[in-house]
Amino acid sequence: MTFDSVLMFLTLLAAVYTILPEYRRRELKFRIGLGDIVIIAFSILFVHYLLFFDVFKSIGLTPELRLHRHGLTTKNISYLATLLATCFVIINISRFRLNRNKIFSFKNLVSELIEEGRYSDLVKIIYGRGQAINKIVKSDYCLSNLRKKWQKRSLWEVVLDQKEGESKKESEILNKFAELLPTYKRHADAAKELINLFLSNKGFANYTAKLKPYFIIEVYHYETFATEDFISRFYQALLENKSSIYYQELKNNQNLVSGHRYAISDENRLLKYLFKDARVGEKHGAWKPIGEYVISYLDQLRKQQSDRYNLPMEDYSEGRKWECPIYSSFHFFDVMVSEALYQNIQWHMWLYYFPHFTKRIVRNSAPESGYVDLSCEFPTPYHYLLYEQISTLRNWIREGLSLPQIQANTVIEATSPTHENGCIPKSSMLAMGQCIYEIFASRKFQSNFLNYLASIVFDLYFDLKNDKNRPNYHEALINCIWAGGFRRYENITDYHKQLQESWKDFDKIPHLSQDIEELEIFLFRDI
């Protein structure tokens, strides 16, 4: 290489650096390590040595290797050295993995981006590094793990080890040796501060919800006190944006693969992440931000002078419902609970949010007089939403019939209206009882609508009654409905009377007379 070649190469590097995005230039600074700096410095010195080779040769500072015999000259050697050094640095930078020694400079970089509001660059910098950051937070390294293993934190641990055959002297030696091992606490604290820097930023949460919504999958990997707040703000922004992935994925996820189980396609990345393995959704409490938002939304509607859900249905059930945070969230719960049911998750997945929704919908329901035809099947969107809740709960209960008898999350231990949190059908029965009670006891709805909802319950009862594989399902259902769920209400007589009136209107022809008589005796046993 000549002087001109060196200058051209340096000019090219400067040009490439200049056209790099700002976040890439900043990222480059902490990607370059001590080894890279040593290689760069050595290659620069070596190339300059070759450029001034004749000078050094004249003063006797060159080895007599006689490389010219092999066709090697100072020019092609300097070219080869530059090429090898450049390749080494590029490969080393591209293979960079965030480590504990770089966490401090990385935290400073993230802090700068937040202060400047460069959220787009921030996402690119953080994305894909969750696992590395969590490793630093947990100090998950060989030496620190040995320290945790050998260092006795209490007298009880020492006693346990002695019972297992470890002598007191051995215990003391291990304990003293453990104290010499590093904790990496300073690095772990820096990593925690780093996570809290971006997760506690409201502007960043709003930005990701609008423009980088799948970043939430990365956030789910962080286990800090700021994670829950970020997720809450993220979903709030997501549900407030009618064109967000939340509404798109739910609308595009209506196909059933079998029974009442939804086919979660690969395109619906958020639903797939949370529910393809329902344990992930259970671990992250997927229900909480959605349920809390719907409750808050219904409470806000209560404060408004005019509530559009009290107006006539029009095209709500045809298309507008998929832009509705209430209905879409019902569908979110439907996908979640159905997957949990089929995957034998022994937890109710907080389907008990449904009674809270029902209570607020009933409270808000006040059809606009003069505009609403109360004789319609669903006079208002609120009527339709109540129907959807009861219908969804019915589906979860009925699905228990199609699953193996020994599947743990479908087995009902007691037919009384008591909690069995590991059984989804039983939890659904209790939630249905609460919802039915809230609707019937409110005295806000026309008898034709109440009778319609009651017919769903009675038809379900007979479906369960006729299934020989689940002999106690029908009894558990009617007990839960009659009690109004698991709560104990002081005045339940009026509620029972309304159930009895709905029974009188119920179409009994499709069902066996013996089954009808048995249920009638139960409903009118106090008369």
Residue 227's contacts (CB-CB under 8 Å, 6 or more residues apart) are: 195, 199, 219, 220
pLDDT in tens, the chain (527 residues): 677 777 787 788 778 778 877 767 777 776 777 787 888 888 888 888 878 877 877 787 777 766 666 667 778 888 888 888 888 878 877 777 788 888 998 899 899 899 999 999 899 889 888 889 999 999 998 888 888 877 755 545 545 555 455 556 666 777 777 888 888 999 999 999 999 999 999 999 999 999 999 999 999 988 888 899 999 999 999 999 999 999 999 999 999 998 899 999 999 999 999 999 999 999 999 999 999 999 999 999 999 988 999 999 988 888 789 999 999 999 999 999 999 999 999 999 999 999 999 999 999 999 987 889 998 999 999 999 999 999 999 999 999 999 999 999 999 999 999 999 999 999 999 999 999 999 999 999 999 999 999 999 999 999 999 998 999 999 999 999 999 998 888 779 999 999 999 999 999 999 999 999 999 999 998 75
Q: What are the tokens at 114?
A: 């937040």
Name which of 379, 359, 357, 354 is nearest 369 in CA terms. Answer: 379
Residue 452's contacts (CB-CB under 8 Å, 6 or more residues apart) are: 377, 387
Neighbours of 502 (CB within 10 A): 21
Amino acid identity, position 314: E
Could you say which DSSP state residue 320 is in? G
Name which of 284, 72, 113 is nearest 207 in CA terms. Answer: 113
Residue found by looking up tokens 């450029």 in the block: 51
CB crowding 194-213: b at 16 or more within 10 Å, else e:
bbbbbbbbeebbbbbbeebb
Q: What are the tokens at 102?
A: 């770089």
Domain extents for the chain?
3-96, 102-211, 242-523
Q: What are the tokens at 430?
A: 């209790």
CA-to-CA distance for 339 and 271, rounded, in angstroms? Answer: 11
